[in-house]
Amino acid sequence: MGIEETSTEVILTDPNDSTTKVKVLKYGATVFSWELKGEEQLWLSSAAKLDGSKPVRGGIPLVFPVFGKNLNDEHLSKLPQHGLARNSVWEFLGQVKANPPTIQLGLGPEFANPELTKIWPFEYSLVLTIELGAEYLKTAIEVLNTSTTQNLKFNWLFHTYLKIDDIEDTLVSNLNNTLLYDQMLTESYIDRQPVISVHEELDRVYQNVDDDRIIQVIDKGHPIHTLKRENLPDAVVWNPWVEKSKGMADFEPKDGWKNMICVEPGHVHDLINLAPGDNWVASQVLYKDDLKFQSV
Ligand code: BG6
């Protein structure tokens, strides 16, 4: 109960309810399971690598310092898709609070993947705080530019894989009338549809979404996931559908796309530019709520 650490994982359990727990892999500081009252909330591929040989396919991988591939920035363009945080072993910094169980993990260039650090030689310190409430899971990030001379330019994103019953019965709400970049069409437009429904591969970056827009994932009229963001203006919505899933070796079962949708709060439409010594903080909270239709 409480907080248990092994050589590779940290497990937090609600002190009042042993059926509510979160499992975090030190590799990538990846939350790979969140059970709320005995029910798993996150999707995890049955072929996901949890041995540190590859970023985890599922849960909440962390994207830093680049979202996707950056073709323009001199330094970020050298990094692989989604950067180096999800493929580095983070340091367990310990418990912050016993109730709600709260822990921190940290990453800096001294721990990060050495190959990737060579090609992106910047000074930074990341602190991820994971708080397991009785009814919610909060993940918060602080990025500190530890350099005294150089600015730190980066993206941040929580690549949250949510578990759902059936993609064809699922809607994502409260992102309507928002400018988006459609990564399938490579075009920007305003989404005029009242809700998002998925009928083929979908890969969209909704941009500059106010923090007061509460994103919900709705299953046959019932909200099954509610997501609150702080200082994360963008939201990626992604489902790989049939063909893309076939092409990902660590995506199993092959029809697993029916049972997942990624809703990924981040700051990705442009780069955060931190002056030496400055810090930046952001968070996401996953919880349950009644239907909140914020038509705008
Ligand atoms: C999403 C991107 O965030 O991540 C998609 O919008 C991408 O374009 C997906 O395919 C998965 O990326 P990866 O690197 O984990 O296969």
Kindly give the distance from the C-alpha atom of residue 218 to the centroid of ligand 1, in angstroms, as a whole number: 22
Q: How confident is the model at residue 296 (pLDDT cuts 50, 70, 90)?
A: low
Per-residue pLDDT tens digits for 213-243? 999 999 999 999 999 999 999 999 999 999 9
pLDDT reading at 1 higher than 70:
no
pLDDT value of position 294: 87
What is the rounded distance in angstroms from the CA atom of residue 34 to the CA atom of residue 136?
A: 10
Q: Where are the domains of the chain?
A: 3-164+227-253+262-286
Counting from 1 in the atom list of ligand 1, the atom nearest the Cα of 86 is 15
- With a pLDDT cut of 70, the percent of the chain lying above it is 99
* Residues forming a β-bridge with 203: 238
pLDDT value of position 87: 96
What is the rounded distance in angstroms from the CA atom of residue 156 to the CA atom of residue 238?
A: 16
Residue 45 contacts residue 57 (beta carbons within 8 Å): yes
Kindly give the distance from the C-alpha atom of residue 81 to the centroid of ligand 1, in angstroms, as a whole number: 8
Per-residue pLDDT tens digits for 231-290? 999 999 999 999 999 999 999 999 999 999 999 999 999 999 999 999 999 999 999 999
**Residues 3-164+227-253+262-286, CATH architecture:** Distorted Sandwich (2.70)
Kindly give the distance from the C-alpha atom of residue 173 to the centroid of ligand 1, in angstroms, as a whole number: 21
What is the rounded distance in angstroms from the CA atom of residue 97 to the CA atom of residue 103?
A: 7
What average pLDDT does the structure give for the chain? 97
What is the rounded distance in angstroms from the CA atom of residue 189 to the CA atom of residue 84?
A: 30
95 is in an annotated binding site: no
Handedness of CA 118, 122, 124, 129 (dihedral sign): negative
Per-residue pLDDT tens digits for 164-190? 999 999 999 999 999 999 999 999 999
Mean pLDDT calculated for residue range 25-51 = 98
CA dihedral 132, 133, 136, 142 (to 10 degrees): -50
Of the candidates 33, 27, 43, the residue with the CA atom closest to the CA atom of residue 245: 43
- With a pLDDT cut of 90, the percent of the chain lying above it is 98
**ipTM for the whole complex:** 0.98
86 is in an annotated binding site: yes
The DSSP H or E segment spanning 246 is helix 241-247
* 3-class secondary-structure state, position 240: coil
List, by residue number, the catalytic residues. Answer: 159, 264
57 is in an annotated binding site: yes
pLDDT reading at 153 higher than 90:
yes
Of the candidates 102, 87, 68, the residue with the CA atom closest to the CA atom of residue 29: 87
Count other C-beta atoms under 10 Å from residue 31's C-beta. 29
